[in-house]
Amino acid sequence: MSNPAFKFDHVHIISADPKSSADWYVEMFGATIAADTTARGAPQIFVSLGGMTILIRGQRPGEAPVSPRPIRQFADFSSHEARGIDHFGFMYQGDLTAFCNMLRAKGVSFPVELKTGVGGSLLCYVAAPDGVSIELMQC
């Protein structure tokens, strides 16, 4: 049984341009900016989406973040080909095909196009700013 003392809180992304990145989530996914602050000498923006927080921050003094590996498309999946977090995912309640068509019209790229997943539902992978890969699954 899962430990009830834990509840998922946030994903933390280091961004070269936190404001533009946060605006992308607002424009593409309808997220909201919950807070726009500065912490430890860097901009830090709290983006609320789907009951979770995406914390997007800039470079802190003394840091030298390296660019992420690009998302590489394989036959039926994508990968950064690196250890660590590969992607995070959202369940989408609605017509995922229509939503993806809207994203595509706004210039969003899909490392993995819409397809039927192992469980029979539609899914795809979206390339977000800062080298982030997001899986969208129709529920």
What pLDDT score does 52 carry? Answer: 94
**How far is Cα 103 from Cα 96, in angstroms, rounded to an integer?**
10
> Is 39 among the domain residues?
yes
Specify whether the CB–CB gap between 57 and 13 falls below 8 A.
yes
> Is 21 among the domain residues?
yes
Domain that holds residue 90: 71-139
pLDDT digits (tens, 9 = 90+) for 53-93: 999 999 999 999 998 888 887 877 778 888 888 899 999 99
> Is 23 among the domain residues?
yes
In terms of Cβ atoms closer than 10 Å to its own Cβ (0-12, 13-18, 19+), residue 105 is exposed
Q: Report the CATH number at residue 26.
A: 3.10.180.10
Nearest CA among 115, 108, 116 for reference residue 133: 108
> Is 1 among the domain residues?
no
DSSP letter for 139, please: -
Q: Which stretch of 4-8, 75-79, 92-96, 114-118 has the lowest confidence by average pLDDT?
A: 75-79
Number of domains in the chain: 2
> Is 65 among the domain residues?
no
pLDDT digits (tens, 9 = 90+) for 18-56: 999 999 999 999 999 999 999 999 999 999 999 999 999
> Is 3 among the domain residues?
no
Tokens of residue 54, six digits: 């995406």
> Is 90 among the domain residues?
yes
What pLDDT score does 34 carry? Answer: 98
> Is 124 among the domain residues?
yes
SS3 (DSSP) at 38? strand
SS3 (DSSP) at 15? coil
